[in-house]
Homo-oligomer: A and B are copies of this chain.
Amino acid sequence: MIKDHFNKELRELISAEEWLIVREEYMPEENLAYESLFGLANGRMGNRAAFEEGGNKKTLPANYIHGVFDKSEAFMRELANTPNWLELKMYYLREPFGIEDNQELNDFISVLDMKKGILFRSYTVITESGRKTKIEKMKFLSRANSYLGAVRTYITPLNYGGLFEFENRIDGTVTNFADFPRFRVKHLDTLEINDLEAEGAFLKSETRDFGMEIGTAAVVDVKNLAGEDILKSKQFRAFGEIACEFFDLELQKKETVVIDKLAAVCTERDQEDVYQACLKNIKEFKQQGLDSELAEHIKEYQKMWSKADLILEGDQKMQQAIRYNIFQLMSTPNPDDNQTNVGAKLLHGEEYGGHAFWDTELFVLPFFNWTFPEIAKNLVEYRYNLLDKAKENARENGYRGAKYPWESADTGDEECPAWTIEPDGTCYRCYVADYEHHVTAAVTLGMANYVKVTGDQRFMKEKGIHILLETAKFWVSRFSYNQEKKRYEILKVTGPDEWHEPVDNNAYTNHLAKWNIDFALEKLKEYRKAEPALYQKLCQQYGIDQKLIKCWQQLSEKIYTVADQGLIEQFEGYFELECETINEWDQNKMPLMPESLKGKDKNEICILKQADVVMLMFLMDDKFDLETQQTNFDYYEKRTLHRSSLSPSIHCMMGLRVGDDQRAYDYLERSAYVDLDNNQGNTREGIHAASAGGSWQSVVLGYCGMKIDPDGVLSFEPKLLAKWSRVKYSISWQGEILDIEVFEDDLKVSRRSSTDGQKIRYRVNGRERIIN
């Protein structure tokens, strides 16, 4: 039993096993992946699961805060690693004990409690001198007050007693890329260290580029199991960029001390004076105590799960994985902040610098649209807030309208570097930002889907329409007219499949661009009739008149979209590339490069990183008939290596849709377990946000077949796996929460709140039902 590893207090706290992710063995080489995997986020900050004890080499402690970016010597503006407030160093007779490289660990267990957002840990350490100590820990980042985090540590000397010494530290020496000497960079300067008016330890730092201040405070509360204060003495010390409280206490053999480390992290983003904010938060935290804050925190998670949980009966491992993906997704964005987004690796690792990609709109956003529309709204408003920057970005690149950056941080500037430095130090010209333009359509499509699911027409009218018109303008300017072929084309462009760059007339991009323009035309038409005042305003603002509309229509009609039927060529010339279909799969059932094509220039062969045409059809279901979708899925699936973590979930859903569901579950596993099984080997760099969103979509939109019919009615065409006896989840629909239960041969929808008389229609396999 997992709980058996813990003391009574912790046993009572830990949730049922189905809610737990467990690391049952300590192997240092797994530390970095587990630091991401067990990372906690509370909407404001993300904190990797580094050990508070310190002393082990395989660690990359990080505390990322939404919106705290910096560039300095890095080659891109990235989420800055902020001071490490976790550290609690433990000593007996000067000898550190804990997770030390030269000490024996027994009964190690680490448990992520997804239900409550708490990380537990327990082990016995035996030092070289034979001293045995039991350590038990719990850590949480408060969801109730997202400035706060805390770690409780139980320490029990098992075969000795005496004087123990501790250091409660805040470490301002942290860097990004700490174990990557070539890229290591320090994003913060330490401005001030003090004892927080004798309350604890305080460290003020600021980002080096923009000078944004960050206050980090930490204090300890030390009691025995009877609740008595047993601290002997406490002294504040400063060691350069490290703030420290040194304290000591006497412990008898088998006596347990409980050390609560309470921390507060405040930034200039939302606090005028970070020192005062830390002081106030710490004082209140101390006064009310860890347990009280923890209770509030758990309540918040309860609320969140009541909206987002997904029960998958008959498939324990997948159940755990889907919950894990939901847990990390819903924990990350800030419900009160529309200036920040969700990074491709969430707040759990440093890869991609915390930047938002098209991953947000097409993979992550759908989850929030259906479960936390208020968070979804922030994510689309984030793009609206940066619309001006996108316009600047278009102008700078010689286009009109708004061109969203491939990688987006706080300013909306293009953060995707034109030059990257390879690990071997060679500079590499990165063309992604130059050619990969489809993100701009993804932003529009994401926004449109947000409105479609949530029905937030007010957002559409006030903000979304501007995104729509500006992006349409961009696409109009992006096309060039081919006199000879009498068609509009996008030349030199890269689709999602980055192994072919740049190409002419990428099917995915041309289709999405056309959709973007068409949707703008459609909305204008709609508003002209339904919202004449708004329409007039828009016409004035954008210089829209019938002539312009006509132009856009003509352009749209003449866009070369390759084909709408039959086998669609990914881009002009793709069919001429050297080709062999995939005939080998690895032990994870993932396809391998055909032998004859190995080592060849990827631009010259047919093998794909991810399949543009399949992705296109997934998004534009209504544009392609089923046979076309089948033809193309069948063709491209044999040529796709899924070297992007975005790819498998789409192939799961498309396989289900076209009836070629042989490998759908393999794809779902690939997507859902990407971090739990570390099956790309890069979980140490953070959690795959798009996989998490794609996995949720695969179950809900794929297997449960949920969609919105063209007439706006909620609809289900479930295709449950035989082993799944029941899938239950909730959605936010037309302002209320619906609970959906899907069985092999039935589906139930129930409303949670008592009815206010308004009926809700829905369809199951095309047959309409009504909830009263």
Contact = CB atoms under 8 A, between A and B. Distances in A.
A424 interface: yes
Interface in A233-258: 233, 237-241, 246, 248
B163 A425 contact: yes
A192 to B, nearest CB: 13
A73 B236 CA distance: 10
A165 interface: yes
A179 interface: yes
Contact of A423 (B94, B237, B241, B425): B94
Nearest to A55: B57
Contact of A246 (B182, B233, B248): B182
Given A175-B239, A240-B173, A57 B101 contact: yes
A167 to B, nearest CB: 6
Contacts of A424: 163
A167 B181 CA distance: 8
Interface in A113-138: none
Contacts of A163: 424-425
Contacts of A425: 163, 165, 232-233, 248
A342 to B, nearest CB: 28
A91 B177 CA distance: 14
Nearest to A162: B424
A62 to B, nearest CB: 15
Contact of A241 (B94, B179, B180, B241): B241
Nearest to A174: B240
A286 interface: no
Interface in A178-203: 179-182, 184-186, 189-190
A205 to B, nearest CB: 10
Contacts of A755: none
A707 interface: no
B239 A181 contact: no
Contacts of A180: 94
A98 interface: no
A181 B91 contact: yes
The residue in A28, A232, A239, A248 that gathers the most chain B C-beta atoms within 10 A of its C-beta is: A239
A460 to B, nearest CB: 48
A241 B163 CA distance: 33
A483 to B, nearest CB: 48
B94 A186 contact: no
A616 to B, nearest CB: 38
Copies of the polypeptide in the assembly: 2
Interface in A128-179: 163, 165, 167, 172-173, 175, 179
A552 B156 CA distance: 66
Given A232-B425, A423-B93, A423-B94, A238 B182 contact: no
A165 B182 CA distance: 8
Given A94-B180, A102-B57, A425-B232, A173 B239 contact: yes
A240 B232 CA distance: 33
Nearest to A28: B102
Contacts of A28: 102
Contacts of A167: 181
A89 interface: yes
Contacts of A246: 181-182
Nearest to A58: B102
The residue in A91, A237, A241, A425 that gathers the most chain B C-beta atoms within 10 A of its C-beta is: A425
Contacts of A101: 57, 101-102
Interface in A63-93: 73, 89, 91, 93
A89 B172 CA distance: 22
A238 B241 CA distance: 13
Contact of A89 (B181, B232, B233): B181
A237 B73 contact: yes
B423 A240 contact: no
A237 B184 contact: yes
Given A163-B424, A173-B173, A423-B93, A240 B179 contact: no
A179 B425 CA distance: 37
Contacts of A165: 181-182, 425
Nearest to A89: B181
A695 B325 CA distance: 71
Contacts of A238: 186
Interface in A32-60: 57
Nearest to A189: B240
Contact of A179 (B94, B102, B232): B94
Nearest to A188: B240
A233 B426 CA distance: 10
A233 B421 CA distance: 13
Contact of A240 (B93, B181, B233, B240): B240
A253 B246 CA distance: 49
Interface in A709-758: none
Nearest to A242: B173
Contacts of A232: 425
A94 B424 CA distance: 10
Given A182-B246, A184-B237, 6 more contacts: A94-B179, A165-B181, A165-B425, A173-B173, A182-B248, A241-B241
17 contacts: A57-B101, A89-B181, A94-B182, A94-B423, A101-B101, A163-B424, A163-B425, A173-B239, A173-B240, A173-B241, A175-B239, A185-B237, A186-B238, A189-B240, A233-B425, A240-B241, A241-B241
Interface of A: 28, 57, 73, 89, 91, 93-94, 101-102, 163, 165, 167, 172-173, 175, 179-182, 184-186, 189-190, 232-233, 237-241, 246, 248, 423-425
